[in-house]
Amino acid sequence: MTLTLTELLTGELYGLLLVLIRVGAAMSMLPGFGEMTVPVQTRLAAAFGLSLAIAGIVPGLPPAPDTISDLMRQIFAEFAAGMVLGVSARILFAALQISGQVISQSTGLSSIFALPGTGFEGGSVLGSYMMLGGLVLIFVTDLHHAVIGALVESYRMFPPATLPAMGMLAQITTEAVSTSFRMAAQFAGPFIVLGFVYNVGLGLINRAMPQFAVFFIGLPISILGGLFILSLTIAAILTGFLDGFGGWLARFGG
């Protein structure tokens, strides 16, 4: 059966639409691409350009359906596939914010909040700057190429226009949450242990010498000590994050 030019163009445009929905949904949540500080027009242009680039290599794009119900089902399937990739990546990225918050509480910096305009308002200043550092390293180390590769390879795990199994979506989300908290606990572990030992020591000193101004002397030492330890461990923290984030993206290759 020979397709007319109109039918061919309609099929190509519909396939591009499906790819754009998945890519757009993912990029709205992906670290770096979906930040609130990035203008909406820029995000839309990036999603459209990336969709044009990968639409020609996506296998199995279906033709335009005949009914509205099939159309909505296929659109929802693509949206769900894109969101599970974007949301899971965002959850992994939140490990830096969680560990930064725990480190701030352990070192006495929890009362200092993120500066306006950083794009990560509402958390501690350490968490915000750790997220900024992780975001910079994602692009410096070309890990954003792995993000784009995960989008392309996600069509093996989630075929085009096919509703993903709810069990698989729940499993991916649960594993992302558990991995994120595990990474955050590993990053903040030394600070939790040292903070506990330090505060116990301060408590014993205060018990032995009630007249001693433990708070006014102990807090500056805690802050300086925490910043010193952070300067020694920040490279290992960010390297561990990049390894965990890259490994998570690799699983979408199917």
Task: Give the tens place of pLDDT for each residue, 216-244.
Answer: 777 778 888 888 888 889 999 999 999 99
- Backbone phi, then psi, for 115, in 5-degree steps? -70, 145
Average pLDDT, the chain: 82
Q: Which two tokens stand for residue 22?
A: 């998945």
| DSSP letter (8 states) at residue 234 | H
| pLDDT for the residue numbered 1 | 47
Are 62 and 161 in contact by the 8 Å Cβ rule? The answer is: yes
Residue 11 — very low, low, confident or very high, per pLDDT cuts 50/70/90?
Answer: low
| pLDDT for the residue numbered 59 | 79
CA-based end-to-end distance of the chain:
34
* For the ranges 79-83, 118-122, 148-152, the one whose mean pLDDT is highest: 79-83
Are 179 and 251 in contact by the 8 Å Cβ rule? The answer is: no
In this prediction, what percent of the chain has a pLDDT beyond 90? 13
Are 127 and 114 in contact by the 8 Å Cβ rule? The answer is: yes
> Mean pLDDT, to the nearest integer, of 8-35?
82
pLDDT tens per residue across span 175-206: 999 999 999 999 998 888 888 888 888 888 87
| pLDDT for the residue numbered 32 | 80
Q: Of 9, 27, 109, 20, which is closest to residue 58 (Cα–Cα)?
A: 20
Residue 116 — very low, low, confident or very high, per pLDDT cuts 50/70/90?
Answer: very low
Are 86 and 34 in contact by the 8 Å Cβ rule? The answer is: yes
Q: Of 169, 139, 138, which is closest to residue 76 (Cα–Cα)?
A: 169
| pLDDT for the residue numbered 236 | 92
Q: Which two tokens stand for residue 154?
A: 């996600």
CA 44 remoteness from chain centre: 19
User: Structurally, how many domains does the chain consist of?
Assistant: 1
H/E element, 251: none
Least confident of 112-121, 212-221, 243-252: 112-121
| pLDDT for the residue numbered 10 | 64
Q: Of 52, 68, 60, 43, which is closest to residue 17 (Cα–Cα)?
A: 52
Are 193 and 106 in contact by the 8 Å Cβ rule? The answer is: no
Are 146 and 249 in contact by the 8 Å Cβ rule? The answer is: yes
| pLDDT for the residue numbered 208 | 79
pLDDT at 119 over 70: no
CB atoms within 10 A of CB 220: 10
pLDDT at 5 over 50: no
pLDDT tens per residue across span 56-101: 888 778 887 888 888 889 899 999 989 998 899 999 999 998 898 8
* Residue that the structure tokens 């509205």 belong to: 68
Least confident of 16-25, 122-131, 146-155: 122-131
In this prediction, what percent of the chain has a pLDDT beyond 70? 89
| pLDDT for the residue numbered 95 | 92
170 is in which domain, residue-wise? 5-253
